[in-house]
Amino acid sequence: MKVKRQTITLDDLDWSILRLLQSDAKKTYSEIGRKLKVAHSTVYERIRRMEKYGIIKKYTVIVDLEKMGKKPVTAFMTVFTDPKESETVAKKLAEMKEVVEVATSLSEELLIIAKVVAETQENLHAFIAQKVVPLPGVLRIRTSIATRKFKESEVTAEI
Amino acid sequence: MTTFIPAQKVLRKLPRENAFYFFTSIGNYTGVSAASLEEFVKKILEVNVKSLEFHLYRGDFQKWVEEVLEDKNLANEIKKLQQTKLIGNDLRDNLYLIVSKRYDRLKGAS
């Protein structure tokens, strides 16, 4: 990993470590070292630096709701807003527990795209109708419900 | 049996969070809303007819009229319309007739 004028560049070893941690963040330095044929102290040092510079933001837990007998509905919501209110709407959405990702997009108009998870389609509709639509500045909403998921991951190589 | 309710109450302007928001399907908001019975009458004529079908057969109109506007009589009329299984502009015309008639009556009484 190199740090030059606020820009951080990762080398192949850093990326390999990240890939292994993303598949299982509980892997030990020794296990990673053995896999990558480097000393565990090297792994420790690389991870420590990536944490220090914020490359590794946090270690988290992915919960499988289906194992608890739940079949959550995932939907992608495009919110058309008054440009003056977009940022406020995006921030409000970010605070809601049903919204797991939210971003703004500039295409022909300023849009907000949000990934929403709800227990049922009816709960999804109620959430949008009662919590999202009444927000000042929301003009209209298009929602697509995901039926099959083919991939879900973080960036695991240089792009 | 008809229930007495003060006309002014049913005709009041509602806060934003209690307005009726028209969707065409789950999560797809048209951008059309009504924050009073008067607006609701107008929007029936303007909104995509798919939205009227969506809400009528889910019981959303009936629920909003009964719980938010607190007009049980109109809610019952809408419930009867739900049983006719009308779609398209026939549905729009009949819904408009029922709601506008009720609006005119309440307006005259207020």
Which of B20, B26, B50 is the best substitution to test chain A (most A C-beta atoms within 10 A)?
A: B26
Complex-level ipTM: 0.86
Closest residue in A to B28 (Cα–Cα): A142
Which of B21, B30, B32, B47 is the best substitution to test chain A (most A C-beta atoms within 10 A)?
A: B21
A67-145 folds as Alpha-Beta Plaits (3.30.70)
A124 touches chain B (CB under 8 A): yes
- Interchain proximity A145–B27, CB inside 8 Å: yes
B27 touches chain A (CB under 8 A): yes
With beta carbons less than 8 A apart as the criterion, state whether A98 and A115 touch: no
pLDDT single digits (tens) B27-67 = 999 999 999 999 999 999 999 999 999 999 999 999 999 99
Per residue, what are the HEC states of B40-97? HHHHHHHCCHHHHHHHHHHCHHHHHHHHHHCCHHHHHHHHHHHCCCCCHHHHHHHHHH
Whether B5 has a pLDDT exceeding 60, the answer reads yes
What is the residue extent of each domain of chain A? Answer: 2-52, 67-145
Q: Which residues of A touch B33 (CB under 8 A)?
A: 133
pLDDT single digits (tens) A37-81 = 999 999 999 999 999 999 999 998 888 888 888 889 999 999 999
Q: Which of A77, A134, A136 sits opposite B27 (nearest CB)?
A: A77
Q: What is the pLDDT of residue B109?
A: 77
Indicate the DSSP class of residue B14: P
- Rounded to whole angstroms, the Cα distance separating B110 from B107 reads 5
CATH class of A2-52: mainly alpha
What is the residue extent of each domain of chain B? Answer: 9-109
- What does pTM read for this prediction? 0.82
